[in-house]
Every structure is written in C-alpha cells, then in structure tokens.
Structure 1
C-alpha cells in the first residue's frame, strides 16, 4: 500500500507540475525572459574520457559532491542510501564488504581481493579497509555496475566505485566551510581552500573532522575520523597539465557494534537447533552490562561451560596515507595520461561485533602506475591504449579470540599485477557506433603464513552426554600464543596439554601456507550504440570480468581459483520534453561462474576458520529504471526502481563433522564423517528483489533569498544478509525516509539547513554475524533516526 501511495503521489505531482511548467514557460516567453535550461548535465570520466553521463553507453549511477554532503555521507556504508544497486556492510573494525546486485567480497582480510573495485582519484585501492576518510570535498561519485573487463585496473567482477575529489582551479581564490551538529553529539566539519599561485599554478587544500557518539548503548557504532588532502595543479603550457596530491586520514573510536538477537539451543540427542530470541533491544550493544549478563547464558559446547563476559578493550587506531599524480599531455595525435600512485595503511584495532574479539595489526603498502593514450580519430576509429602495473605487499598479525578457541595468524602476502588494454570505437555513421575492448592481465602472488588454533576441549560429560567442565578457564585475548599464562600450557603442533585439573585439555593445530599463485586472463567487451535522437541513446553490450584467485589460512582450502562473470546489458537513455524529463532504462543478465565465497566453517583438520573456495555459480537478472522530472524550474522529482532476480544455481560444499552439527538454513546430509551442505536455489544475499528510491525537491523564492525543501525515501524488499540462510537472517522489507529544509540567498553564498534522516526510526539489520562456538546470532543495524542543523559558507 505504501508503495502505491508514494507512486501515486509522485504521478499526481508530476502531472500537475507539468501543467504548471507549461504555464510558467508561456509566461516567461510573453515577458521576454529566457526559459529554463532543463536538467543538469553531469560530466563523467568512467570510460576514461570526459562525456555526459547521458551519452555514456554503460550502466552508471552518478552522485554529485553536493548530494554526498546533503546526504551526510561520511563512510562507505552510507552509500547504500543513495545508490539502489549497492549494499555496503560494516563487518567490524575497519572491515567493509561491498555488494553490487548480489556480487561482492565475502572476506575482508589482508590477503583476499575485493570484487568491487574502489578507485580514489583514478587509483585502485587494494584493501576495502582503506576506503574510509575519503568522502569530503568531492567532485562526484561514479558507481559502475557490472564487470569492468577492459579499462579498469584489477578485479572488478561486480563493478567499480570511482571517488573523485574536487580539483584545483587556476586563477581562482575560492573555498567553502560546512559544519553540522546533531543528535548523538554528532559533529561534522569539512572545508576547502583553493588558491592561485601564479597564472599557471593553483593549490587546493581540504579537510574534514567527524566525531559522533555511538548508536548503541555501549558506545559502539560511533565515528571518529580526521582527514586532510592537498593538491597542486600546474599547467606550464596549453598542452600539458600536471596535478599531484597527497592525503592522510585517521579512524578512531570504538567502531561498529552489534547486539544479541538470540541463540540456537541444540538438542544433543536429535541434533536439531531451536532459535531462542534474546529479548534484548537492537540498541543494546554487546558490551552493555545487560548484554554481558546475557552472554553468560551461552553454552560453549566444546569447552563444556558457559561463555564469559567479553573483553571490552576495543578501539580503532587506523592510519591511511597516499600520494598520487596525473600528467595529461595533449599532442597532435592524441592525449597521453600517466598516473603514478603510492598508498600505505597501518591498521591497529580490536572489534567485537561477531560476539568475539578480533585483534588486527596490519601494514599494507601499494604502488601503481597507469599509462594510457586516447588517440584522435583515424578515419572512423577512436581508440584508447594503455598499460597498468600494480605492486602490493601486506603484513599482518591477527588474533581471533573466541574464549573456547583462539586463532593466531601471522602472514606476509605479495601481489604483482600487470595489464595491457585497449578499446576501439568504430563510428560507422554519425549515429551508429561499434565498440570492442580487450585486456590481458597477469597476476603473480606469493603468500607465506601460519595459523595456530588453540581449542579448550572438555573431556567430561554429564548423564545426558553433554560436555561438562564448569570450572575450566577460558582463553584470554592475547597478541600471541607466547603471552598465555598458567594454567594454559601451549602444546606442540598436533598435540594437547591438560588445563590444570579441570578435565579439559588445550589442543593446538597448526596450518602453514607457503604458496605462489599465478593467473593470466583475457577479458573483453563488445558493445553497440545508436543515437535514436540527439538526446536519446540506445546501447547494448556484453562484457567479461575476472577476479584473481587467492589464499586461505585453513587446512584443505589453502588456495582458490579465479572467478568469472559475463554481463549482458541493453539500455536506453533519454532526455525528453525539452531536457526536462530524464528517462533511463536498463535490462541486464549476469552469468557468474566459479564464484568465490568466503565463510566461517570447519576445515579439513576439524578446526573452525574463515576461508574462501570456488563453490558458487549464480544467475542475476533484472531491470533498472531511473527518471528525473524538472516539473517546473523550481520543482524536481526523481525515482529509481530496481528489480533484481538472483539465484545460486550451484552452491554446494562439504565440511567435516564436529562435536556439533553445522548451523545452516540450507539442506545438509551426513555421510560418514562429512556433511554436504546444499544452498543451491537460494537468492544471492544482500540482493533485495525490489529497491525503490523516490525524491522531491521544491524551491520557493523569497525576494533575494530562497527556501529549498527536499524529501526522499527508499524501499528495500526482504533479503538475506548472510550466507547461512537462517530464517533469522532474512531481513524484512523496510522504508527509510529523510527530509531537509534549507534557507539562504539566491547566490548560494551561504545557507542553513535542518535535516532529519530515517524518520521511521528503524534500526534495520544489515549484517548477522554468527558466533558459532556459542551458537548465538548477533545483529549489526543501520543508524536510528538522526537529525541536526548544517551551515555552509562559500566564497
């Protein structure tokens, strides 16, 4: 009913506003005033050339820097509000997972590659953890949907997100400062200053500070970010432009938190689980005294006792650095672009969102160099040729402390990747174009790591056959095994030692991986574009994408192979009614093979761990409709509708039987000591069937001032948010509505705005980490209702 209400309201507004626009235009013509210019043209560089987004024959969503600021976007997880095809999950600490139409990265460690490429200022970011602290003073965001098989650096099976900062401007002294304050003691400051140094040089310096209390009762899901960026632009001649930049950001606070949804009680005789809700509100964080008391009711079957309170020493102290440059040299035969870049991240954080403590210490460093040449037309042909080189090294020390089980990982990983690429456009007529592209990529990887798993195993049982060691101590959070103290005596690998006189033992299993991995792949794109009119573009394409294989620190799953996706797209982009109506339609079908899926499971040695394997094959189909209507010169209506049908055609894996059966909503069969788990037929997770964004903006002129009101809402239908496909991981459909009212002069030198987001005050579940040892389900949720005031000054 609500969908029909919003759609009907939008339709009535559109029809009445169109009549008003016709009257307004006629009145202007009679008075001799110029008519409105229509919808804004947004220039994008998604295809490595400057063009209107309406002339780009690719599936793309574009968000301007002003829209980013108005939506209050400060972190990658906020992008889901304004890009219907995108879902971004906070996975604890600095970890982020990106999903586009059900395609994404399941793992977030330092030795796996993302499926959605995030590019900052033209530079590929190898680690999803390095995507914070970027969303300020932006020119725009470009979200490309589907594989990027020819023009983009690495591993873009699902899509790419281009984060493009505002650039220095020659001969201009300008800048802005924006500040907002709201509930949860939320402070958001950002600003920029553009200064000319001479006729041929300019500098731009910008920065941001975000400080907000946590959304949960224990202070988690807070935000503390500081970032600064500097850029220098030099144009020594009309043919050469040089730009260099550097940036730094820091993330602090406690990081994302979660709450207990409930626990799965196991009947040891039947092997069946029954879900028992916790009764705790979604606002009660895991470290709240009430939640800590609840935690002590969780039974750790392997240890034969209940869980202990979580160690509450959680924090983030993550630092990110980067330098990049861009040279553009226009010649008589084309334009040469060279982009060198260096980036470094130093991660140090503890998080507890999955109901155990993860202690991450990691250093990431990458160097990349891209050179491409956009040639001037030769006969009917336009072309781009390029080369790309990427060198990354990662060093990590991880502790995952689950009380009855501690995992210690030490690793070093290196990746070297190179590519040659090209794209040719044949302009068969003034209206018809055929496009072909190829990219040859070579990936060379090396991984050296060791994982030690220590498990507290109870050897005593009660009369019902249930493990029973009520006095056994649980493993503390430590940096390494050597930090453990009595009564824990760390045994040699593959052996066990008694834990005092508790009738429990401490076992140790070691997995070492020392392995190279090489992949070489040819990816391609074929497309056709036809101009139906000067403002209507019909396009179709087929593109092949690839993501390289990788490593896991788990016995039997040490390496996994590349995954592939082939995407078929047909689309229509229109500007109608004198450039006042935008109507874009896209239909797509993605064929996903050898899908890499990461999960927490039991490895071949019977130990719990996180690993990836090629167990997925899926089909993704859908339609997306994007429309904007400038009903009058002061009334803008927009709607974006996505229908998505996804299905795992094949999702079957095995795991050894442990003391407790696997916790899954999928079908499972036991054959000897091996479980076969079949999730085939389920939809992709993080992929709602329906997503609808509606927005309206109205401007009222008051003398030399104006009042701008805006209203937006988003609907997402039910969807799974984790791959266990448990009934409790199916999130019901929801709406999220925001509103803003801004006042300022017509010249927009300043304005003051009041805003509210999530009027419904729904804490929507976005992730459901399972604490396997305690058979507990936790929930990470979106922000509750937030509101505040924002002031902006420009000069």
Structure 2
C-alpha cells in the first residue's frame, strides 16, 4: 500500500511539474527579446521530429527552405491526398527521416519512443507486438491479423512478421490513431502505420551516405544514389546494413540486417507518371532474447501462489549458465521431475521480397492512381522469448491491387473513390517444445479480400466542411490445419529419470516409441508415460463482410486554426486455428469518436494541437498463450468481450528563439475491459492470474477467469515526450545539441495481470551533438540512447511448464559516433 501511495503521489508531482513547465514556456515566449523578429529555424536535418518541415534532409538529398517567420510545414498523405499536416483533420503523428536516424530506429520496435500513443515490442523471429492506445496483439503466432494496419509505400502488409527492413531512405512515417474504416479499411481497427520511402527525383544526380559505430560492436550504414535518366526519369538505389552484438549475456538480442531498394521513375507524358520499386531484406543472427524474472508455486494450505524472484538481472539471457542453473530448479509439471537446460538453438534466417508500382494518370476530371504489388517472404527461426523453444517455418505470399480516383472539385464537392483486391497465401509449420510437452502444427491459410470505398467532402463555405465516407469489405478465409501434441506424464509419485522431449522439427526425431493419437505408451523404467493427444484438424472456409463509415465536421475557426470532430467505425477479420474449443474466432468491431483542434500562433512560432477520443470495442480479439478444452497449452486467439478506451492528447511546438526549438507531447489514456472472460480446464490448482477465477457452476471441469475492469495491455495512463534542439552558430559551421526524454506511467505488459507483468513508471532519455557546415553537406555526430540504462520489461509471460515468469527487457544504454555526407 505504501508503494502504491508513493507512486500516486509521484505521478501527481509529475503532473504538477509539467504544468509548471508549460507555464514557464509560455512566459519565456512572451518575454523573449527576439520575439517578433524575422528568424530562421534551426537546420531541419537536426530538429526534433515534431518540428521538422517537409524536407528530404540527408536521406532525400535536398531541403525545402524553412519559412523565415517560424515553424515549417509538414506535407502528409494520411488521407490519400497531399495536404499540410496542420490542415489534416485526423489524429496523426509524423516521424521524419532525421528523427529515425537520431533515434537509431531500424525496425518497428523503437517507434514508440517517438510516438506517445504507440508501443511496439519484439516478439521473437522478427515479429513485433504493435499496440496503439492499448489496442493491439501479442504476435507469437503469425496466422492472425494485426489490429494496426502496416502499409509500406501504400501497400498493405498482411503478416506482422513482414514489417521490418524498410527503415532507411524514407520520406517520413505516418502513424494514424484510431480506426481507419474507409480509406484504409482492412484490419485497421486501432490505427495504421504508413512507411513512405523517398521517391526518385527526375533529372537529378544526388545521393547520401551515413555510417555509425557504437558499443556492442554496432555498425550501421545506409545510403542512396539518385541517377537521372534524362530530364523526365530517374533511377534510385538505396540500401542499409545493421549489425550489432547481443544485448544479453548469452549473445541473444543481436541483429544482422541487410536490405536494399531499387526504384525507377518515368514521367512518360505530362499526364502519366509510372514508378516501379523492388526491395529485398535478410534478417539473421540469434534473435531476440529473454530472461527469468521469477518462479511461482501454488501453496494449497494458504490457498495462494508463492512467487520467488530469480535473482537474475535483465541482462542474463536464458542460455547463460546462471539462467540454466535456475531453470534446473523449475518443476516440469506433468513429467514429475525438474527441467533440464534449454537447448541453445536460437537463430533467425528470414528473407523478404517485394515488387510494387504506382501509376498516376491525370485526367480532365481528376487523378487516377493504380498500385499493384506482390510480396513474398520465407521465415525460418527458432526463438526463446516465451521461455521455451519455438521453431517457425513460414512461407507467405501476397498480391494486391488498389485503384483510387481523386476527383477534381465539382461545385462544393470533392471526392475520392477506390477499390482494393487483396490475396494472400500463408503456409506455416510450428514446432514448440517445453521438454515435458511438445506441440506441432501444420497450417495453410488463404485469404481473399475485396473492398470498395468512397469519401466525399462538401465545402459548404470557405471555412466549413462536412465529410462522409463509406467502405464495403468482403473477406474470405480458407483454412486447413492440424495440431499434434505429446506430453510426458508421470504415473508414479515422482519420475526423476523420466526422459524429457528435445526440441525437434518432427515427432519421429524424439527417439522414443510414439503412441497412436489419443493413446499412451510406457517409458520403460521411468514410471512415466508418453501421451499423445487426439489429432486436431480444421478444414473450413469463413466469409465475413462489413460496411464501415466515417462522418466528420471540419471548421477553420481562424486563418491557422482548425476544429474537427468525427465518428468512424472499424472491422477486423475473424479467423480459424487448430485449437480444440477455439477452432474459430469472430470479427471485432470498433466505433470511435474524436474531436480535436490544430493551431499555429504568434507568427508561426507556437504550434498547439489537442485531441480527445472515445473508442468502444465489441467482440474484441486477443491472442495469447492459453489452454484449450483438452488441457493442451497453445497460442491462440479468443474473442474476449468489450472494452472502452478514452483520453486526450496535447502537442506543443515552440520556436523559443531563432536557434531553439522546444517540443512536448502529453497523452492521458484510460482503458477498461468492460467484459473480459475466458475459460480454462479446472486442473489441480487455480490458474496463475491476477484476475478472479472460479469453477463454473454449469461446467465443473472448467474455471471461469474474469478480467473485467482491468486496464488494457501496454496502456500507460500518462505518457509524456519532451525535447529540445539548440543550434550554436560557429562562423560557417554550427553545433546542434539535441535531447529528448519520454515518461510512461505504470502499465501491464503481459496477459495474466500478475505483479511481475506490471511495469512501474519509467523515464528514458536520448541525447546527440552534431557538428556540420552551414550547407549541411556533411556532418559528424555523437549520440547516447537510454541514458538511464533502465532495463524495464517490454513483454512478460508465464511459463506454465516450469511455473516461471519470462520477460523481454528494454535495450540497454547505447552510444556511438556517426558521420554523414550528401551531394
């Protein structure tokens, strides 16, 4: 109780300090002697992400001049048309290429440090967990669809594991918050992430190269060259290399990434432009690592669980001898003996390919854009992030074509019409070993999605607009899959010599006699049996369709002030899985209300944006490790019920002096599962959970777990981002000092709501100093990230076989030097 009271007081003090800081900033603005003078902004390649104008910076070779009177503008395409971010009546954050470079972001997992509403954590095998304002999924299983749509170069990517390898030579990244039920539509119930590469520049020769070296023997490099093909064409070739040692003591949490992209642009006629792009990425190394937080054991006399800390720090990986010694103390459940060392088999060998095109044709009535795309990937990895070994071999292929027509205004009406066809084939084999049990799955999933959409904007006056949008989506999923499971069961009081199951790809590799489905065979001389569950087979087709809509009001209340309000709905497809009792899960739905205002004051020196939101989910999907109706442990999707999320976000950007930019974002978020229940087999002890659990009066062989009233995962009540950029002019050169920090209040990062899955409030800060000439043709920088070296938890789960909590820690303090040159 004292700890909880202290945390509440600490959060209140934090809020008070923030209010004082805002007031101080306002006073400094009014009293600044330079206020009202003509000024220039700090160099845009070194400013913080929320203050940068729409520039190509180092990655795009040339810079648009920053308006002399204040903050620059950012151009976005979040609503499928080019517009000033301050005129886009939707909640969206934009991350610039220089912000990505400064923050060391090479994959989706670090985007949350720049976007307060976003949380992206690694899940092993190259798959990220993406949560936005508490909405998202744990993605240990690649079969299901993410609730945050990920789009690369205007192409929707169906698999969460295919979202890395794009984070170089970028124009920007847009993070749209809330359902995108009309223009994006498919599986965007929580939001969308748009990764937009730099386009080739017709008739221009240019390029850049950036390289850095840091601790953990980290070497990163990226670059691009833009070659003119006459005055109306260009070829752009870009690439990236990332290599660093493991952050954990066993060498895990390393990275080996190589990627390149080739784009060809041709302005074939004054009205027709064609761009074709191809990309490749390989992801290798040992993969993400984890560590043991604690063990737990049920005390039947006290009627509660006793939790014992592991005594291991967050840098001690699972294959470290100290961790292996701890593992040998864990009891292997049904096997009647303790576990043995975890086999050191962790690796990642993934490859990704893609080809897409953009055909833009200007007609007398508007612009027609057609985007055909094909993508394929092969994922072969064994990860240990759950505390056991899981081998995934997966082959994905997708094809899509989107057509949009942005019509010229007809009287007071402008409009966008479009259609999307998406086809995907996902073939996967999983082999999961927990020593006392092993599960094998073979799955083939085919998805076909068709959609048509329209959005109309009625300009009733120059300052007042009504917006209406609608989308019809039809999804069809063909699924065939099987699941085969084995368990070592002790038939004696104890079985200390019972053989445990090694990690293998196929059951025949156990080296043990295999029982028939639903049968057992004795393991001679051990007192144990090898039990094989019944074969679970699913072969079915599921079809779903939905009409989603958007309605909005937009008002220009002043020359540089916009007020907007909207209601929008979203829909995420259901699916199928070879899990007894959970063979099919249903679609989820959301209705979201948003109101906001975007403003510029004091001759473009102060930007203040605010937004309030209310999200209501129905039939919400959640993926996690669980137990099916036969008592077999698995990772699967459940429809858990309803939830309500609401809150507000404020963003301020201040050009305090001609060479000083201050940046602040504050989000308040309240999340609540209105109805969150699921069932588990009764077992010998109640489930290890922070939720209420009771034997069902209607089915005594099951327990009902009720987590209603709990907050959503990865949903801190308060998130604060603060940043400053200070430029010092030194003759023909400049020195730019940048610093930023992020505060997040406590949040749950695991499915079970136990104490070891609750992360307390955290601060994480970065800093950088850059020296460059006035024309920015080259630069040298020194940087440090996670100055506090805080190794807080990103994700934590319970290891049922072994009764332990296993977690993924944050990246430790990293530092290094970087050099850049462009021409």
Please, what TM-score do these two structures have when normalized by structure 2? Answer: 0.93
Deviations 1:728-773 (A, max 9, x none): 1110001001111100100000111111111111001110021111
Deviations 1:214-269 (A, max 9, x none): 11101111111000001001001221111000000011111111111010022255
Residues 21/39 of structure 1: CA separation in 2 closer, same or farther (3 Å cut): farther
Residue number in structure 2 paired with 1:728: 756
* Secondary structure of 1:282's aligned partner: coil
Is the 8 Å Cα contact of residues 21 and 633 (structure 1) preserved in structure 2? Answer: no
Query: Is 1:262 paired with 2:288?
Result: no
Given candidates 92, 95, 116, the residue that maps to 2:127 is 95
Question: How much does 1:106 deviate?
Answer: 3.2
Deviations 1:164-187 (A, max 9, x none): 001100121111100111111111
Question: How much does 1:726 deviate?
Answer: 0.5
Is the 8 Å Cα contact of residues 399 and 480 (structure 1) preserved in structure 2? Answer: yes
Given candidates 750, 762, 771, the residue that maps to 2:778 is 750
The separation in 1 between residues aligned to 2:115 and 2:427, in whole angstroms, is 34
Question: How much does 1:14 deviate?
Answer: 5.3
Is the 8 Å Cα contact of residues 124 and 153 (structure 1) preserved in structure 2? Answer: no
Residues 27/192 of structure 1: CA separation in 2 closer, same or farther (3 Å cut): closer
Q: Which runs of 5+ in 2 are unaligned?
A: 1-12, 41-65
* Secondary structure of 2:226's aligned partner: strand
Residue number in structure 2 paired with 1:31: none
Residue number in structure 1 paired with 2:52: none
Residues 660/403 of structure 1: CA separation in 2 closer, same or farther (3 Å cut): farther
Given candidates 498, 502, 505, the residue that maps to 2:529 is 505
Residues 3/587 of structure 1: CA separation in 2 closer, same or farther (3 Å cut): closer
Question: How much does 1:602 deviate?
Answer: 1.5
Residue number in structure 1 paired with 2:392: 360
Query: Is 1:187 paired with 2:212?
Result: no
The separation in 1 between residues aligned to 2:685 and 2:237, in whole angstroms, is 57
Instruction: Show the 5 A alignment for 1:163-178.
Output: 163-178=195-210
The separation in 1 between residues aligned to 2:39 and 2:103, in whole angstroms, is 35
Deviations 1:405-426 (A, max 9, x none): 1000011000000001000001
Residue number in structure 2 paired with 1:652: 677
Question: How much does 1:9 deviate?
Answer: 5.0
The separation in 1 between residues aligned to 2:457 and 2:199, in whole angstroms, is 29
Residues 760/3 of structure 1: CA separation in 2 closer, same or farther (3 Å cut): farther
Runs of 4+ in 1 over 6 A off after TM superposition: none
Is the 8 Å Cα contact of residues 38 and 69 (structure 2) preserved in structure 1? Answer: no
Residue number in structure 2 paired with 1:767: 795
Question: How much does 1:363 deviate?
Answer: 0.1
Query: Is 1:407 paired with 2:435?
Result: no
Given candidates 482, 485, 503, the residue that maps to 1:453 is 485
Given candidates 592, 603, 608, the residue that maps to 1:583 is 608
Residue number in structure 2 paired with 1:637: 662
Instruction: Show the 5 A alignment for 1:388-407.
Output: 388-407=420-439
Please, what TM-score do these two structures have when normalized by structure 1? Answer: 0.97
- Matched positions, count: 782
Is the 8 Å Cα contact of residues 36 and 633 (structure 1) preserved in structure 2? Answer: no
Query: Is 1:688 paired with 2:688?
Result: no
**Which 10-residue stretch deviates more, 9-18 or 571-580?**
9-18
The separation in 2 between residues aligned to 1:446 and 1:457, in whole angstroms, is 36
The separation in 2 between residues aligned to 1:750 and 1:786, in whole angstroms, is 23
Question: How much does 1:35 deviate?
Answer: 8.6
The separation in 2 between residues aligned to 1:402 and 1:573, in whole angstroms, is 53
The separation in 2 between residues aligned to 1:105 and 1:266, in whole angstroms, is 29
Residues 7/213 of structure 1: CA separation in 2 closer, same or farther (3 Å cut): farther
Is the 8 Å Cα contact of residues 14 and 629 (structure 1) preserved in structure 2? Answer: no
Residue number in structure 2 paired with 1:483: 509
Instruction: Show the 5 A alignment for 1:282-301.
Output: 282-301=314-333
Question: How much does 1:37 deviate?
Answer: 2.8
Residue number in structure 2 paired with 1:464: none
Is the 8 Å Cα contact of residues 644 and 674 (structure 2) preserved in structure 1? Answer: yes
* Secondary structure of 2:508's aligned partner: helix
Is the 8 Å Cα contact of residues 625 and 636 (structure 2) preserved in structure 1? Answer: yes
Question: How much does 1:483 deviate?
Answer: 1.6
* Secondary structure of 1:306's aligned partner: coil
Query: Is 1:610 paired with 2:638?
Result: no
Residue number in structure 1 paired with 2:745: 717
Is the 8 Å Cα contact of residues 751 and 797 (structure 2) preserved in structure 1? Answer: no
Residue number in structure 2 paired with 1:465: none
The separation in 1 between residues aligned to 2:161 and 2:185, in whole angstroms, is 18
The separation in 1 between residues aligned to 2:782 and 2:25, in whole angstroms, is 24
The separation in 2 between residues aligned to 1:25 and 1:270, in whole angstroms, is 73
Given candidates 52, 66, 79, the residue that maps to 1:47 is 79
Is the 8 Å Cα contact of residues 552 and 610 (structure 1) preserved in structure 2? Answer: no
Given candidates 518, 529, 540, the residue that maps to 2:543 is 518
The separation in 2 between residues aligned to 1:601 and 1:269, in whole angstroms, is 26
Residue number in structure 2 paired with 1:20: 32
Question: How much does 1:13 deviate?
Answer: 5.1
Is the 8 Å Cα contact of residues 10 and 637 (structure 1) preserved in structure 2? Answer: no
Residues 18/744 of structure 1: CA separation in 2 closer, same or farther (3 Å cut): farther
Query: Is 1:217 paired with 2:249?
Result: yes
The separation in 1 between residues aligned to 2:202 and 2:69, in whole angstroms, is 27
Question: How much does 1:76 deviate?
Answer: 0.7
Is the 8 Å Cα contact of residues 220 and 257 (structure 1) preserved in structure 2? Answer: yes
The separation in 1 between residues aligned to 2:591 and 2:425, in whole angstroms, is 30
Residue number in structure 1 paired with 2:703: 675
Question: How much does 1:15 deviate?
Answer: 3.2
Residues 792/330 of structure 1: CA separation in 2 closer, same or farther (3 Å cut): same
Residue number in structure 2 paired with 1:549: 574
Deviations 1:269-321 (A, max 9, x none): 56531110001111101100110011000001211000110010211000000
